[in-house]
Structure formats: structure tokens, C-alpha cells
Structure 1
Amino acid sequence: MSRKLLILVITLLTLIGISHAAQTVTKDNYAEPVIEPKLKDYYLPGESLSVNMTIEPKTSDDAEIIDGRVYEFNTSLDDPSMLVTVEYAGFGGGGIVTPGKDYVKVDVKDWEGGLSRIVVEVSGKVPEVSQRIARIVVIGVDIQDAEGDAISPVVINVVNTALFSEYISSLEKRYDNLSAKATELESKGVAVADIIVKLNSAKTRIDDGKTYFNEGKYGEANTSLAQAEEYLNEAENLIRKTEVELLIETAKDKLDIMFNKMTELELLIQKLKSKDKSTLNYEVKLEEFKQSYSEIAKKISQAEDYLNNGLYDDAENTVNDAIKQIDERTSEINSLIDEVAPQVEETPTPQETETPQGPGIGERVSEFFSGIASWLSENRDRILLYGGGVVVLALLGFVGYRGVKAYMRRRKWDELK
């Protein structure tokens, strides 16, 4: 009977111990940790730093809840030194000190009256960081059976001034490059007002960031410079979009030229065909060009889809490939035009026909006066009877009229020739 009773007592004590150890603690069981001395907003690598953190229960009841578990402490300082002191409440609490470097583990006992406090003292040097501003853990706390960060870690902000300076320089250089591209686009007649607005905003933020940095206001500097980068990104996207749009327009213009050249070639082929000459090879090539034209037009359309979805690199690669094909096909069409055109222009040389020549004006006048003389000789008596003067004048007027008329007729004939 006594043996059964002993087993029962041992079992109960074990269950009580397990139940107590398994109780989860949260930040509500702890008072706000005391951090001394007050931390600065920013630290530079190589600075010496000493920090103390005091952990205490929120109430006396919590003091008996937060004991009986393992506490672990760590630090990210260079050349660290750590000292952890555990003090219990009630009679004989005293203090137990555990030294260490970057890590210390203490097993807090389940003490009558509970845990009074834990004091963590850490010293060391601020380490180098690979970011402009990085958060470094000076004192980290890990508690057994705790929910989340029951005790928040002590952290500091460490600044890498070299990276800050490089960042500022890179933003300024990028601003200059994008401004030059905007100016180039403007010289081509492109509207760049939206781009200029973004660039001006970026320049303002860069200047503000430099001022904050020089004043040691690293947080404000980082925020301002990050905003500048955002504006530069937006300006670059607008520029890329505009550049690709221009490239697509160039491709369309070249495709129009290719179409016109195909039309010219087709007309030449038809003319050559009308001369009963063989055009089969030329017609086959023309159909190939037409097929290429359709495929290239689809490729340009695909580039426009990429552009509308913000895929500027894909759009640029696609349209450049289209332009390359257009240039190649247009060159081939021109070569074929040069081959066909001379065949179309070949025509037989017409033979010259002589214009019939009639008697000259001099010959006609001579013949006419010869006839007049003969007539005067035959009608001499009649002229004398009726008044020779009047008749002679009439005859001279008639001769003049016939001579002038003959001359005008001859002149018109010469002009027609």
C-alpha cells in the first residue's frame, strides 16, 4: 500500500512540474525593458558601444511565471563582451553572474518568490554593414516556451557613408543620361513634357538627399534619394516607351516603302508580260515578297502588343528584327526592278520619213509673173482701149495677194514639219 502511495505522489509531483514548465509566456508577463544609456539615431562602423538591458516581471504573479526556464542572449557587435546577472525574488535571491562574448545561455531556476530581474550588459564595436542603413542587433533575447518576441531585441541603425556617396553619384549620373535622351527626343519633334516633369522632381529629391546626408540626417536622406530613384525609373520608362514607339513608326514607314516598291515591280512585270516576254520567275519572286510583307506586318503588330504591355525590351527586339527583314526585302525588290525595267523600256527605233517638198515660193511667184506677162501681151489692145492704168493696178494687187497667200501657206507647212 505504501508503495502505491509513493508512486502516486511521484506522479503528481511530476505532472505539477511539467504543467508549470510548459506554461507559455508572452510580452504581457514582462515590464517594458529598461535600456541604458539612450541610443543614438545612427551609428557609424567602428564606433564603441556599451548597452545595458534590464528585464523584469510586470507583476509579482508574473515573477513566478517567467522563472523556471532557459534564457539565451546574443549580440552582433564586433569584439563583444557580455555579462548576464540573474536575480531572484524572496529570501536568498542574491545574483548569479554569467559572462560571455557574443552568446550567453542562463538557466533560470524555479525559485520561491519567482524571478526578480535579469540584467544584460553588452559592449563592443559597431560592425561594417553592406547597406546604406542597416539594423544591427545589439542584444537579442530568446526565451524558452515564449510566444513570439516576448522581449524585443535592442537594435541600432548603422550607416555606410561610402555606399551613400556612391548612391548619390549614381543617381546624378543617371539623371544626366536621361536628361540627354529627353533632349534628343525633343530635337526629333517628340513631346517630352511628361518626361521633363519626372526628371525635375528627381533632381529636386537628389538635391534634398545630398543636403540631409551632409547634415547627418541619414534617414531623411535615404527617403529622399529613394524617391528620386522612383522618379528616375518613371522617366526612364517613359523614354523607353517613346523610343520604341519611334522605332515602330520607322518600321511602318519602311514597310510602306517596301509596299510601293512591290507595286512598282508588279506594274513593270505586267508591262513586260504585255510584250509577250517570259515573266514567270519574276511573278514567283513577287509572290514571295508579298508573303514576306504580310509576315513582317504581323511582327510589327506583335511589337505594338509588347509595347502596350510595358514589355519594352521584347518590343524593341521584335521591331528591330522586322526592320532588318524589311531592309533585306526592299534591297531584293530594287535589284529585281533594276533587272526588269530595261527590258520594259526596249522599243524599236522608228524610221524617219521624208516630208514631200513642193515648189518654193520663189518658183511659184516666177511662174505667176510669167503667166501675167503672157496675158498682158495677149490683151494689149483691150488694156489700151479701157484704160490701161486701172487694169494694171488691179493686176498688181492681185499678184501681191497671191504672193502673200502662197508665202503663208508655205510657212504653215514648214511649222507642221
Structure 2
Amino acid sequence: MKFTKNLILFLLSLSVIFIAIHPAFALEKLNTSDFKEPDVTLKVNGEDLKPTLSNGKFVIDKVCEKGDTVEITYVIEPIDEDKAKEVDGRTYTARTELEGAVIKATVYYKNGGGVGYESSPGKKYLDIKVGEWEDGLDKINVEIRDDVPAPSARLKEINALRFDVQEAEENCLPPVVLLVIDYDRFKSDISSMKERYNNLSAVLDQYIGKTDTSGLSNYLNYASQNISLAESYYNDGEYIKADERLNYASEWLDKADTEAKKVKAEYACSQADERLREIGKSLDKIELYLDQIESKELVNTSTLLGYKSEFKGLQDESSSLAEELAVAKAYINDGKYSEAEIKANNIISEAEKLANSANALFEELKKVVSPEETATPEPTQTAEEFKMPGIPIDIKLVGVIVGGIIAIALAIMGIQRYMKRRKWDELK
């Protein structure tokens, strides 16, 4: 029992000692300041290109495309002799996104020792194990050669070479990145966005003046501006700017597409609303006719009840469609524009059938309340009548002519009397 107790105390003491000294064995966490700026050389298809360090990564002033052959040499060195002893004793993992790459690395120590590593073809990483050396690490020389893969987008940044360092901040050794372009996809994306723009513009043309299209118009205007800029930048070889503008254009087109669905839904709901209002007016007229028929006892009770039953059915169907329209409008408020448009169009279709039924009942009741009178037959023309030619007559002119004729007649009569009297005088 005593032995067991002593053993437990010994183990506990040993654990405390281990915990106390463990930090001394822990690796120092490294960061960028522990290393010199890496010496990087790069060739694309045999052309020497000097990478520059920008925003924590090495870049070149050139875009690559699928099939370009890339060669990179990357030299890692500690910032000073003190750090040389801190940066060793850990694993440096080199990684690449190039296809079929072979990664080679040589570790050099301060006392002249060294060891080499090489990955198998196509393996996209290489673990470089740096041992703990008396004077520490001198440098690590990494080489990689391979072809550029096809990008997954029209313009894609890939890591040609990057490092994961044990117990170190991420990217404490700046990665080498390449900008890879797919020219065909770039041009295809520009054409595709133009087509989207044209299709959405057709929606704008179809609904402008019928409902509120101001939002759709604004979004399409912004999209058009960015598509034009993207095409201009692409033609000038400024692919990063062109890609950026196409991304903006895509965002505006997405907003325009959503707005177009909203426009269609709102218009469909307004049309459904209008149909139901028209049906409501028809039902009001039917109700007035039914009141007249009942008060004047124009039909028997059985027929009247049949009319009222049919009218009640029309009212119920109208109320049901109104409730469905309220649901469609709620869909719009929830951003469910496609669902709202479908429901509103179904309401319009059902409303057309309801309107036809209501109009049929209205016409039937109209005949009961106001029966059509028999038309009076036209008199038969037995002989062809004389008709004055259709010449317009001036009443004043007729008066003057008639007056003139009367005056002439009176003058003639006066002359005749005078002549008779003269002849009489001569006979005497």
C-alpha cells in the first residue's frame, strides 16, 4: 500500500516537471520577419520574368494561359544567424497548383551539411524536413517546373508555389501566384452578358408604361455601362479591370433579373385585380335585376330561386378568386415573384370564365326585365316618288328670286292695263 502511494506521488511529480520544462522544447512560432525576402526567379515558356512582391505575394506582369511552361526557383533564408537556429527543426511543405509538377528541394545547413528532396511526378506537394543543426539553417533551395492548367474561370489566380511551415503564421513565406486567362471563356462571358441584357431589356420594353419599371431600367443602365467598360478593357489587354467590370455587370444583371420577375408579377396582379373589379360591377347589375324581377314578380318562384342560386355561386367564386389574389400579392411582399406571377395568371384565366358566366346570366335577366319590342315594319313604296335632288338651298336667295318674279309680274300687269286704256282712248 505504501509502495503504491509512493509510486503515485512519483508519477505526479514527474508530470509536474514535464509540464514545467515542456515549453522549452516547443517550436518557436515563425512569421515573415524571421526570414529574408525570398530570392525568386521565374520563367514562362523560356522567357525570364522578375516577380515582384505585392500585397504579400509574388506576381509577374504577364497573364498565362493553359499549356504555358513555368519554371520557378525559390530560395528561403533566415534573417540572421540567431534566427537560423530557430527556423530549423521543422517541416516546410511546398505546394503547387501546376499540373504534373516535379518539386525539388535542397536543404543547406550552416556547417556545410545538406540534404535533397524530390516529389514524384504529378504529386502536388513535397514535405521538406529540416533537422535541428548545431549552427542552424543556411538556406532551402526549391525548384519547380510544370505546365499551367486550364483555369476554372475566365481569369483565375493560381498558386504556382506556396509553403505551409510547421508552427508558423500562414503565408509567412510569400506565395508565387500566376494570373491565368481563358480567352475564349472571357469573350463568351461578354457575349452571354450582352444576351442577358437584351433579354431583360425586352421585358422592360414590354411592360414600360403598364407598371412601375424604374428599378429595372436603372439596373439595366448600370449593367450596360459595366459591360461596355469590360469589353473596352479586354480589347486593351487590361484583363483584371475587364474581369472586375464583368463581375459588376453580372451583379447588376442579377438584380435586373429579380426586378423583371417583380415587374411581371405586379403587372399580372394588377390585371387580375382589374378583372375582378369588372366582375364585381357585373354582379352588382345582376343583383339589381334580380331585385326588380322579384319585386315585379316577373317570373315564378322556382325560376327566381334558380337565378338567385346561380348568382350566389358567382359571388362565392368571385370571393374565392379575391382571396387567391391576396395570396399572390403576399408572395410579392415575400419576394416570391415567380410564384406570384403564376398564381395571378391562373386567377386571370379563372376570372375570364367567371366573367363569361356572369355576362350570360346578366343578358338572360335583362330579357326578363326589358323584353325586346317587335320592330315596326317599314311602309311599302307602291310608286316611285319624285325626289328633289339633294342640292343645298339658300332661303334668302329663294326669297330674293321670288320677290323679283312677283315684281316683274306686277310690272307686266301694269303695262298691259296701260296699253288697254290707251287703246280704249283711241277708240273713243
TM over 0.5: yes
How far does residue 338 in structure 1 lie from its aligned partner after superposition? Answer: 4.3
Q: Is the 8 A contact 1:21 1:68 kept in 2?
A: no
The partner residue of 2:203 within 161, 181, 187 is: 181
Superposition map of 1:179-328 within 5 A: 179-186=201-208, 188=209, 192=213, 195-273=216-294, 274-275=297-298, 277-278=300-301, 279-328=304-353
Q: How many angstroms apart in 2 are the aligned matches of 1:228 and 1:17?
A: 57
> Residues 269-310 of structure 1, C-alpha deviation per residue, up to 9 Å, x if partnerless?
233323352222322232232223223223323323332443
Structure 1 unaligned residues grouped into runs of 5+? 1-11, 350-417
Q: How many angstroms apart in 2 are the aligned matches of 1:300 and 1:23?
A: 69
Q: How many angstroms apart in 2 are the aligned matches of 1:208 and 1:193?
A: 23
How far does residue 239 in structure 1 lie from its aligned partner after superposition? Answer: 3.5
2:40 is matched with which residue?
35
Q: 1:310 and 1:14, CA in 2 relative to 1: closer, same or farther beyond 3 A?
A: closer
How far does residue 209 in structure 1 lie from its aligned partner after superposition? Answer: 0.9
How far does residue 88 in structure 1 lie from its aligned partner after superposition? Answer: 0.8
> Residues 323-361 of structure 1, C-alpha deviation per residue, up to 9 Å, x if partnerless?
223222222223333444444456999xxxxxxxxxxxx
> Residues 33-62 of structure 1, C-alpha deviation per residue, up to 9 Å, x if partnerless?
232232334211111111111112223222
How far does residue 127 in structure 1 lie from its aligned partner after superposition? Answer: 0.5
> What percentage of residue pairs aligned between the two structures are identical?
27
How far does residue 190 in structure 1 lie from its aligned partner after superposition? Answer: 5.4
Q: How many angstroms apart in 2 are the aligned matches of 1:33 and 1:139?
A: 12
Q: 1:15 and 1:29, CA in 2 relative to 1: closer, same or farther beyond 3 A?
A: farther
- Which entry has the higher C-alpha Rg, 1 or 2? 1
How far does residue 250 in structure 1 lie from its aligned partner after superposition? Answer: 1.2
Q: Is the 8 A contact 1:21 1:69 kept in 2?
A: no
Query: Which letter maps to 2:298?
Result: K
| Corresponding residue pairs, total | 337
Q: Is the 8 A contact 2:93 2:126 kept in 1?
A: yes
> Residues 109-128 of structure 1, C-alpha deviation per residue, up to 9 Å, x if partnerless?
11011111111111111100
How far does residue 185 in structure 1 lie from its aligned partner after superposition? Answer: 2.7
> Residues 58-102 of structure 1, C-alpha deviation per residue, up to 9 Å, x if partnerless?
23222111111222222221232221010111x3x2332222243
How far does residue 15 in structure 1 lie from its aligned partner after superposition? Answer: 9.6
Query: Which letter maps to 1:272?
Result: I
2:99 is matched with which residue?
78
Q: How many angstroms apart in 2 are the aligned matches of 1:42 and 1:126?
A: 11
> Residues 131-161 of structure 1, C-alpha deviation per residue, up to 9 Å, x if partnerless?
1122222113222233433334322121122
Structure 2 unaligned residues grouped into runs of 5+? 1-16, 43-50, 52-59, 375-428
Which secondary structure does the structure 2 equivalent of 1:317 belong to? helix
TM-score, scaled to structure 2? 0.70
Hey, which of these two has a bigger chunk of helix by percent? 1
How far does residue 129 in structure 1 lie from its aligned partner after superposition? Answer: 1.4
Q: How many angstroms apart in 1 are the aligned matches of 2:253 and 2:225?
A: 11
Q: Is the 8 A contact 1:138 1:156 kept in 2?
A: yes
Which secondary structure does the structure 2 equivalent of 1:136 belong to? strand
Q: How many angstroms apart in 2 are the aligned matches of 1:107 and 1:171?
A: 50
The partner residue of 2:115 within 96, 99, 103 is: 96
The partner residue of 2:167 within 145, 149, 158 is: 145
Q: How many angstroms apart in 1 are the aligned matches of 2:373 and 2:228?
A: 80
1:396 is matched with which residue?
none
Q: How many angstroms apart in 1 are the aligned matches of 2:373 and 2:245?
A: 82
Query: Which letter maps to 1:275?
Result: L
Q: Is the 8 A contact 1:33 1:56 kept in 2?
A: yes
Query: Which letter maps to 2:118?
Result: P
1:165 is matched with which residue?
187
Q: 1:15 and 1:110, CA in 2 relative to 1: closer, same or farther beyond 3 A?
A: farther
